[in-house]
Amino acid sequence: MRFLEVFLLVIITILPFIKRPLIKKISKKYILALILLLVIMHLVIDGWRWQMLPAYFLVLIIIWRIYHIDLMKMLKLTFIRIFGYVFLIVTLTLAWILPIVLPVFSLPKPTGIYNVGSTWIHIKTDRDEVITKDLSDKRELMAKIWYPTDDISEGKREPYVDQANRLGFIRKYSMGILPPFTINYLDRIKTYVYEGVPISKQKFPVLIFSPGYGSKSTGYYALLSEIASHGYIIVNVSHTYESLGTTFTDGSMKFFDYEYQYQQDASSMDHIIPIKEAFEKDISFNERHKIIREASKDYFVTHIVERWSKDLMSVIDHLETWNKTGFLKERLDLDKIGVFGHSRGGGAAGQTALKDSRVKAAVNIDGIQWGEMMDTIFEKPFLFLSADWPEDHENISAHAYVNKSTDYFYECKLLTSGHPNFMDIPLMIPIQSVAGTGTIDAELGLKITNELVVEFFNKHLKNEANADPIKIGNRHTLLEMKVHKGDSIR
């Protein structure tokens, strides 16, 4: 919340209870003038937003009461007065809760030596689109490019999150009740990303990023702007019909397909039940591993991870062309390609690293890598960063990554964190019980994650001599880390 919002809320909370003694000392007209001045300053400097509507309503009630107050009239405890105070308390509670739960929040400023620019690229593939009912549809993707820039003099800060992801977000979490304008308060979020500014004149490593399933595909500003500021070009993929929204360059929008999800959920019980039962039974790890391995083979999430992996490889297929012409000409270091992702996108990143030799290093942030990983092994550096799940959590990843890597494999856990702590969600919704985050400080959790991912790619993609992810584990007590190199553990 912003200062003037807090100040206004404090004033309307206190005034109803002290207005009579205050008016005896200060003229009504001065009190009313100060209230109006505060409201005008808030509207001019902060701007109005719907979360403050209960506060604005109370301002009008308080102004009316102060203007009509009769100091000579004796106060009596009537039913109307009791009702009035109950109504006041309920409205005050709502006036505080709405701007706290949905604040105009501050994004962390990137710490790298570069500013960050952005642009969008439309990607067409020759693969069939399996989600839509039109058999002639081919898979199309949008990719947001986050890149290092030295020149922001002619650029303007981009608005926070594209329109389709905004609309998808408000539809999902209000179940279609709230109108689209209710998400427009995000225009007041100050980003550190500039639209269409020139890219720095050198080659940079390329990172392909895959977001979570049914999430805002571009809702990772804290993570992606920080990494880009350290000298990486990031291709942020929107998985059409499986991200909350996808905004195409012609202005058209496509949204998450809930009907397809429901169909897949309904058909997956034969795979989910054996997995759940395998964790409930008192059996050995090897016995459970056989059950999970078999159940996951035709599990619909396995197919999503494989499909998303093909999306990421389709992006990699385009890199050589982008490097020859257009905005990214001669800016991509194609010998240094990495992939990373969050949640289901983290599983897709791992699958891509497994299948595509062009990928030199990969990071999975709290995602399950369903599928063939259980039958093989990485032959490149890999980082797995997990949230701090409860003890009774079904630890699929212990089975997915049983073979780890012939190269470095970093097995990490961000203590006291929850699954959404790696997104912007803990900033956007700073109430733990609402956001599903852990008890870790939101900015600290993002800082640790950012440092770890940057250090990993600095070492294993840029090949910087002084880079070492172990340093990040030693620096932060909330980061638990085991490092495997082949069969050894450090």
The residue-averaged pLDDT of 216-236 equals 97
Tell me the per-residue pLDDT of 304-344, one tens digit each, with 9 for 90 and over: 999 999 999 999 999 999 999 999 999 999 999 999 999 99
Q: Across 10-19, 27-36, 451-460, which has the greatest mean pLDDT?
A: 451-460
pTM for the whole structure: 0.91
What are the domain boundaries of the chain?
Answer: 3-101, 117-489
The residue-averaged pLDDT of 230-241 equals 97
Please return the burial class of 56, using the count of CB atoms within 10 Å of its CB with bins 0-12, 13-18 and 19+: middle
* Residue 488: predicted pLDDT: 61
pLDDT band for 297, please (50, 70, 90 cuts). Answer: confident
The residue-averaged pLDDT of 5-30 equals 92
Tell me the per-residue pLDDT of 420-443, one tens digit each, with 9 for 90 and over: 999 999 999 999 988 999 999 999
Q: Is the pLDDT of residue 295 over 70?
A: yes
Query: What is the DSSP pairing of strand 488-489 with strand 479-485?
Result: antiparallel
Tell me the per-residue pLDDT of 244-270, one tens digit each, with 9 for 90 and over: 999 999 999 999 999 999 888 887 877
Pick the CATH number of 117-489 from 3.40.50.2000, 3.30.365.10, 3.40.50.1820, 3.90.1720.10: 3.40.50.1820
pLDDT band for 74, please (50, 70, 90 cuts). Answer: low
Angle formed by the axes of helices 344-355 and 300-322, to 10°? 60
Half-sphere exposure of 479 (CA within 13 A, CB side): 25
Task: Tell me the three-class secondary structure of the chain, residue by residue.
Answer: CCHHHHHHHHHHHHHHHHHHHHHHHCCHHHHHHHHHHHHHHHHHHHCCCHHHHHHHHHHHHHHHHHHHCCCCCCCCCCHHHHHHHHHHHHHHHHHHHHHHHCCCCCCCCCCCCCEEEEEEEEEEEEEECCCCCCCCCEEEEEEEEEEEECCCCCCCECCCCCHHHHHHHHHHHHCCCCCHHHHHHHHHCCCCEEECCCCCCCCEEEEEEECCCCCCCCCCHHHHHHHHHCCCEEEEEECCCCCCEEECCCCCEEECCHHHHHHHHHCCHHHHHHHHHHHHCCCCHHHHHHHHHHHCCCCHHHHHHHHHHHHHHHHHHHHHHHCCCCCCCCCEEEEEEEEEEECHHHHHHHHHHHHCCCEEEEEEECCCCCCHHHHCCECCCEEEEECCCCCCCCCHHHHHCCCCECCEEEEEEECCCCHHHHCCHHHHCCCHHHHCCCCCCHHHHHHHHHHHHHHHHHHHCCCCCCCCHHHHHHHCCCEEEEEEECCEEC
Q: Is the pLDDT of residue 41 over 90?
A: yes
The residue-averaged pLDDT of 277-302 equals 90
pLDDT band for 285, please (50, 70, 90 cuts). Answer: very high
The residue-averaged pLDDT of 137-161 equals 95
* Residue 489: predicted pLDDT: 56
